[in-house]
Amino acid sequence: MTAATRYNSGAIAFHWIIAALIVLNFIAVWVAEDMPKEDASQLMGIHKAVGISILVLTVLRILWRLTHRPPPFPENMKAWEVALARVVHSLFYFLMVAIPFTGWSMVSAYSGKPVSFFGLFDVPALPYRVNEASGEILHEVHETFGAIMLVLLALHVAGALKHHFVDRHGGLARMIPALRRD
């Protein structure tokens, strides 16, 4: 792996930090479902703050991506694999903005209250009229986008493993520093 064929440190940091936060948020939602209401509410407060973090980091990641060219795909990847990878990456970027934004919108529509950012400060509610029906629609969109994200995550991981172990493109070494063979 040369520097020209792998992602730079900034891209790798954004990738893994955002990925960890996304996984954390899915776990928080699943755990909260079986908790008493008061405990679930506290955990969902963390879920909301992590969601805001994902939104901010994703905007920064997009800015990074616009100013730092990613490495080219391996030359021996098939055209359909490159096309699928591009579609999946584009959908990831869309969802990493849309999921937290619909969550923030949902909270704003349901209550009009700000979102606490880990108790450090409040993120103001979006300027929506408080409307339960709108909140419910946004909740459905938020959950649907989350389900699509899970499918994309599975597809992304399966593709990365296939390219690394089956095709031997060294795909994982492009994003996992410990696997680099300089």
At 20-55, the pLDDT tens digits run 999 999 999 999 999 999 999 999 999 999 999 999
- The chain-wide mean pLDDT, for the chain, equals 92
Query: Predicted confidence band at 164 (pLDDT cuts at 50, 70, 90)?
Result: confident
Identify the burial level of 142 via C-beta atoms within 10 angstroms of its C-beta, where 0-12 means exposed, 13-18 middle and 19 or more buried.
buried
CATH number at residue 80: 1.20.950.20
How many angstroms separate the CA atoms of 98 and 155, rounded?
19
108 Cβ contact partners less than 8 Å away, ≥ 6 residues apart: 125, 126, 127, 128
Alpha-carbon distances of 113 from 30, 63, 117, 123, 128, rounded to whole Å:
24, 29, 13, 9, 10
DSSP H helices, the chain, are 9-32, 37-67, 79-111, 132-161
| Total tally of structural domains belonging to the chain | 1
pTM of the model: 0.92
Q: What is the pLDDT of residue 75?
A: 83
Asked if residue 182 has pLDDT above 70, the reply is no
| Residue 32 domain boundaries | 3-179
Torsion sign (Cα): 137, 142, 143, 148: positive
Q: What percent of the chain has pLDDT over 70?
A: 96
Query: Predicted confidence band at 162 (pLDDT cuts at 50, 70, 90)?
Result: confident
Asked if residue 102 has pLDDT above 60, the reply is yes
pLDDT digits (tens, 9 = 90+) for 66-92: 999 998 888 888 899 899 999 999 999
